[in-house]
Each structure stands twice: as C-alpha cells, then as structure tokens.
Amino acid sequence: MILRRICLSLLTALAVCLPAIAHPGGITTPDPNLPPEDVYLSPSDVHAMYGGAALAIVLTKPQHLPFRDLPPEYLQPGGHEHHDFASTLEGQAQCLGVNCAMLGVPDGGMFPVYMEGRVQTVALGKGPTDTTGTFPTEMLAMNLSGVGPTPPFIKIRESPTLPSLGSTSITDVGGGLYHIDSFFDVFTELSLDGGASWMPNTAPNPYGPTGSTRVVLGIPEPASIALLVLGMLGFAGPLRRRR
C-alpha cells in the first residue's frame, strides 16, 4: 500500500510538470445557431472528483448529449444571446471510501451515471444578426438529477458562486457550412442527499482554473494517464468559495 501511494505521488508530480494537452475539437455544420447540437466532452480522463467524509466520487468519461427542448426564440437583453435548454449527462463514476455502502456499491466500485436537467448559458455580445464571430460565453446555471441507474438522490449543479466561463467561435467555411469551436470551464458541485449539502469538484483542470472542468464541443484528444492520476488525487480539500 505504501509503495502504491509513493508511485501515485510520483505520477502526480509528473502530471503537474506536463504542458497542457491540445484539445482540438469543434464541429462543421450547416446550422450556425447556438447552442450547437452536438456532444460536449472532457479532454481529461477524470471529469470531476468530489470528496466528503470517508467518501469520494470520481466522475469519468462523461458526455453532455445534444441539447433539446430549445425555445423557438432566444432572449437577447443587452445584446447578449441567452439559452435555456434541457441537458443529459451520462458517464461512469467510481466510489472510494468506507461510506460507499450508502450508494449500494463497494469501496472502489463503479456505477453508471445518467442525469437530466436544465442548463442556462449566455453568449456575450452576440446579437440577432451576429451569425459568425468569437463570443465570450458563460454557463449561468446547471441543475441535473440522477435518473435510471443513477441513485435519484444524486444531484450535480453549476456553482452558484464561481463563474463557469468559456468561448465560442463560429466561422463561415463556405458551401453553406460553418465551423463551431466551443468550450466551458465549469465549476460543479455534487450532492448525495438530494441537495441538502454540496461537495465542490476539487480535481485539477490542466486547461483552466483548478476545481473547474473543461468541456469541449466535438471530440477532444484524451489526456495522459498521469493527468488521470492527478485528477484522482487532487481532492485534498474544498475550495475557498468566492462571495
């Protein structure tokens, strides 16, 4: 056990020294409207890690599936394009610690994650006539609840105090097609008691602020195994919340 911990610590140190891995993604589509109808993925092997008393949840291989239930018109107060839509998150989670029994899984056990809820985003400076361009974006809210194989008392939300920022570029590539590049660095929190208490994500983000998760439109490159280890070990303590 001691040797295993030493090896994991060395891999963690190695991961800290690695440069950020490129994550080319994006989609080419005939529809330039936002939000893009494609999957958002994480370029990191570990999407998020939430730590509690004798318990940690490691979320891996997530997919934010194509959005649905979009309103027929977007609200655009102040020249900003706002979106409110349904979202689905699916992936895998591993439970670590003696309190995993509360989820019905053993220490180190895996369980599938399937969650649904609403998401709100804004593209700053994007007005009704701005078909192309690069726009700062922000995820304003996300509230997902476990359904199906996921215990119904598990919830994930976007942080109510930390801004989840990103950027979206829409380029006319000719032939009636547009290329859209988009990403968000999302601060999330997880609840195991139906929302009575929340644990912030504490996994490092090799592309952005620690505690956030980079999600990229399209198919990004996978991260290295060292970054996987870094994500699994980087939950030493909760983030200090900004007010």
pTM of the model: 0.77
Residue from 150, 44, 171, 173 nearest 104 by CA: 150
Instruction: Tell me whether residue 9 is in a domain.
Output: no
* Residue located via tokens 């591993």: 94
Q: Give residue 109's domain range.
A: 22-222
Instruction: Tell me whether residue 231 is in a domain.
Output: no
- Other C-beta atoms closer than 10 Å to the C-beta of 10 total 12
- Say which amino acid occupies 56: A
Instruction: Tell me whether residue 15 is in a domain.
Output: no
Per-residue tens of pLDDT for the chain, all 243 residues? 443 333 334 333 333 333 333 345 799 999 999 888 888 888 777 789 998 778 899 998 788 876 666 554 555 556 788 888 888 999 899 999 988 988 888 999 999 999 999 999 999 999 888 899 999 999 999 999 999 888 889 999 999 999 999 999 999 999 999 999 999 999 999 999 899 999 999 988 988 999 999 999 986 544 433 333 333 333 333 333 333
Going through the chain in order, the beta strands assigned E by DSSP cover 27-29, 40-41, 46-52, 55-64, 81-96, 110-123, 133-146, 155-158, 164-174, 177-191, 199-200, 212-217
Instruction: Tell me whether residue 228 is in a domain.
Output: no
Total domains in the chain come to: 1
Instruction: Tell me whether residue 147 is in a domain.
Output: yes
